[in-house]
DNA sequence: AATGCACTTGCGAATTATTTGCAACAAGGT
DNA sequence: ACCTTGTTGCAAATAATTCGCAAGTGCATT
């Protein structure tokens, strides 16, 4: 546990340790990278950011750690059009994404009404939703 | 134009020819495979089905043709979780998908209400929607 | 603090899905 | 039938992610 660990990272470390996951230098670096990001970094970007704290982190370890974290529900894996997977901590309330097709910017939004309708549709079809993906791809509205 | 061409395939051939796209044996086979499919085949599956009509079709040509068709809006490319891309003709009204996570079955559905809400959300964020992806992943509802 | 073993890691090779270079081939206008 | 130019099959190239393995390291225990 590095002395530069934020309380959020320490919390994650405790949770993981409680489940028998070993806390290694590289895992702390990866957790910090995720905790300090407010965007949706790719595996490569998580690698770069992690290396600022521990230059020994490898891409394979980033992928292995991201898999563990995803399996535990600690992070979410997004597969937007085109690029590889993008990640984010799962500690905020559920939301969906609007991707600016020109800039790649990702905007988060929530719609309780859409969530309800989804559940209703699934119910009518005889299903329970396990998870869902709602992505809007758009361009800034123009009047030019 | 093979004499076993369905009217639907002939239509597609005409449209494509009108845009300067050459109608080759393999393209007819691929169009037929798509026109005769009511599911969401992968590129490999499109290859298999096309080969029943023209055994010379190669996977590279399937991918190249699918790209052309997607570019023209003739087909839609779906990227569901896990597997590679899955395709379908775009000649039916817009719909979204519910994927049975146990069987892989894909069920189509439409919700005018959700579509409206999406447009509204984008508008509030200052965007016009170019396209969107709504996928529900679910399990058959059980009471056992 | 030292020990030991199972879990982790870095590295490079393997995979999976898709794309591309290139020489041979074939639409389709003339 | 001919010619030009787009198209094809094949194999090699990419891109993103996973895996095998020998070396390294958490951390429970002494
Ligand atoms: Mn997000
Ligand atoms: Mn469909
Ligand atoms: Zn949602
Ligand atoms: Zn829709």
Ligand nearest to the CA of A136: 4
Closest nucleotide (C1' vs CA) to B58 is: D9
DSSP string covering A84-103: --EEEES-S---EEEEETTT
pLDDT, position B22: 95
Rounded to a whole number, what is the distance in Å from the CA of B68 to chain A's nearest CA?
A: 17
Dist. CA B25–CA A12, nearest whole Å? 58
pLDDT score of B2 more than 70: no
The full set of domain ranges for chain A reads 7-89, 96-138
* Average pLDDT across chain A, whole number: 94
Dist. CA A116–CA A138, nearest whole Å? 23
Residues with Cβ within 5 Å of ion ligand 2?
Answer: B 88, 108
Rounded to a whole number, what is the distance in Å from the CA of A1 to chain B's nearest CA?
A: 35
pLDDT, position B144: 66
Q: Which residues of A touch B123 (CB under 8 A)?
A: 141
Q: Give me the residues of chain A with pLDDT under 50, please.
A: 1-2
Tell me how many residue pairs between chain A and chain B have CB atoms under 8 A apart: 107
Q: How many CA atoms lie within 13 A of A92 on its CB side?
A: 14
Fold agreement (B7-89, B96-138)? no
CATH superfamily of B96-138: Ferric-uptake regulator, C-terminal dimerisarion domain (3.30.1490.190)
Contact between chains at B134 and A139 (C-beta distance less than 8 A): no
Contact between chains at B137 and A130 (C-beta distance less than 8 A): yes
Judge whether residue B23 contacts strand D, using its CB and a 7 Å cut-off. no
- Which tens digits make up the pLDDT trace of B27-37? 999 999 999 99
- Which tens digits make up the pLDDT trace of B36-72? 999 999 999 999 999 999 999 999 999 999 999 999 9
Question: Between vectors from CA B73 to CA B70 and to CA B79, what angle results, nearest 5°?
Answer: 45
Please name which of A22, A36, A1, A11 lies closest in space to residue A65, comparing C-alpha atoms.
Answer: A22
pLDDT score of B129 more than 90: yes
Residue of A nearest to B130 (CA): A138
Could you tell me where the DSSP H helices lie in B19-138? 25-35, 43-51, 59-72, 112-124
pLDDT score of B1 more than 60: no
Q: How many CA atoms lie within 13 A of A68 on its CB side?
A: 18
Judge whether residue B65 contacts strand D, using its CB and a 7 Å cut-off. yes
Dist. CA B30–CA A37, nearest whole Å? 45
Judge whether residue A125 contacts strand D, using its CB and a 7 Å cut-off. no
Residue B134 CA, ligand 4 centroid: distance in Å: 6
Q: Which residues of B touch A70 (CB under 8 A)?
A: none
- Phi and psi at residue A55, to the nearest 5°: -65, -5
β-strand partners of A131: B137
Q: What class has domain B7-89?
A: mainly alpha
Our measurement of CA A93 to C1' D4, in angstroms, reads 61
Answer whether B9's CB lies under 8 Å from B35's CB.
Answer: yes
For the entire predicted model, the pTM comes to 0.89
């Amino acid at each position: 546990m590095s002395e530069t660990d934020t309380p959020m990272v320490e919390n994650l470390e405790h949770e993981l340790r409680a489940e028998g996951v070993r806390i290694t230098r590289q895992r702390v670096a990866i957790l910090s990278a995720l905790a300090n990001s407010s965007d949706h970094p790719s595996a490569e970007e998580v690698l770069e950011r992690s290396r600022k704290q521990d230059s020994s982190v490898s891409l394979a370890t980033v992928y292995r750690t991201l898999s563990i974290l995803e399996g535990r529900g600690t992070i979410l894996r997004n597969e937007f059009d085109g690029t590889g997977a993008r990640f984010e901590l799962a500690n905020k309330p559920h939301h969906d994404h609007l991707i600016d097709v020109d800039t790649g910017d990702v905007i988060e939004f929530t719609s309780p009404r859409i969530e309800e309708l989804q559940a209703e549709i699934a119910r009518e079809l005889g299903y329970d939703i396990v998870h869902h993906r709602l992505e809007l791809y758009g361009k800034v509205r123009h009047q030019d």
